[in-house]
Amino acid sequence: MSTQPAYQRILLKLSGEALLGDQQFGISPEVTAFLAHEIKAVVDIGVQVALVVGGGNIYRGERLARAGMDRVTGDQMGMLATVINALALQDAIERVGGMQARVQSAIRINEVCEDFIRRKADRHLEKGRVVVFAAGTGNPFFTTDSAAALRAIEIEADLMLKATTVDGIYTADPKKDPEAKRYDELTYDEALHKRLGVMDQTAMVLCRDHGMKLRVYDMDRPGALLKIVTGDMTIGTRVNR
């Protein structure tokens, strides 16, 4: 296998649920350690890595929203949940020898992490540090997928990756429909028109309009991230303009 990177800078989007492992709530130390090792493998070959993480393992807004909670308050709670996850990832990454990480938040929370400053993020990445972007876009009504798309575009990532628990995008939910087929490649317009639920529409339109390439892949598969960044085109589903 080639160890030459095919991409210089990537942005990896992790869902909050991905951090659950086999728990019902919170952060699995086994999962964060596994992710840190997967990330180290690509940092070691010189790839610059930025992360965006969701918050669904800590806070899910739907139930409280149904019970009448104000949407903006709920979204702010979700943003804070992503800060907790980002700190956990920073810690796990720095506990793997030879890596440094910096958390940058879209909402000001200086005592715990840096503010999001694009040029500073750029510098960290150039120095080989993993940058974890926290607190979404800093605004209610935007998902962490949209935040990931926005940050990927801002830092001029060569590839955005969406880590999920299935190995790509399917014609239907493969956990429910045995006939579901995996796409090797799709355009954003196809994904939008077929309502494939890859990401929310805001995120997909942002990626489409700015020509951001996306790969959806199974994060539980050890070595998959390294294979993708060294040019393996067979893993997951590629989404392009």
* Contact in structure between 74 and 65 (CB atoms under 8 Å): yes
Determine if 131 is a binding residue for ligand GTP (CB under 6 A).
no
Residues 157 and 212: beta-carbon distance below 8 Å: yes
Residue 93 engages ligand GTP in binding (rule: CB under 6 A): no
Q: Does 110 bind ligand GTP (CB under 6 A)?
A: yes
Q: Rule CB under 6 A: is residue 45 a binding residue for ligand GTP?
A: no
- Among the listed ranges 75-83, 108-116, 189-197, 212-220, the one in contact with ligand GTP (CB under 6 A) is 108-116
Sign of CA dihedral 72, 155, 118, 134: positive
Q: Which two tokens stand for residue 217?
A: 């892949």
Residues 6 or more apart in contact with residue 67 via CB below 8 angstroms: none
Instruction: Report the sign of the C-alpha dihedral through residues 145, 151, 156, 161, in that order.
Output: negative
Total residues interacting with ligand GTP, rule: CB under 6 A: 9
Length of the chain: 241
Per CB under 6 A, the list member of 102, 151, 162, 215 interacting with ligand GTP is 102
For residues 102 and 238, which CB has a smaller minimum distance to ligand GTP in the complex? 102
Among 113, 135, 212, 225, binds ligand GTP (CB under 6 A): 113
Angle at 236 between CA 9 and CA 210, to 5 degrees: 45
Task: Tell the smallest beta-carbon distance from residue 99 to ligand GTP (Å).
Answer: 13
Q: Which stretch binds ligand GTP (CB under 6 A): 22-30, 36-44, 45-53, 111-119?
A: 111-119
**Residue 166 neighbours by CB distance under 10 Å:** 17
Instruction: By CB under 6 A, tell whether 234 contacts ligand GTP.
Output: no
Q: Does 112 engage in binding with ligand GTP (CB under 6 A)?
A: yes
**Sign of torsion over alpha carbons 61, 55, 5, 169:** negative
Looking up tokens 């429910």 gives 176
Per CB under 6 A, 224 contacts ligand GTP: no
Instruction: Tell me: does residue 122 bind ligand GTP (CB under 6 A).
Output: no
Residues that bind ligand GTP (CB under 6 A): 102, 110-115, 123, 127
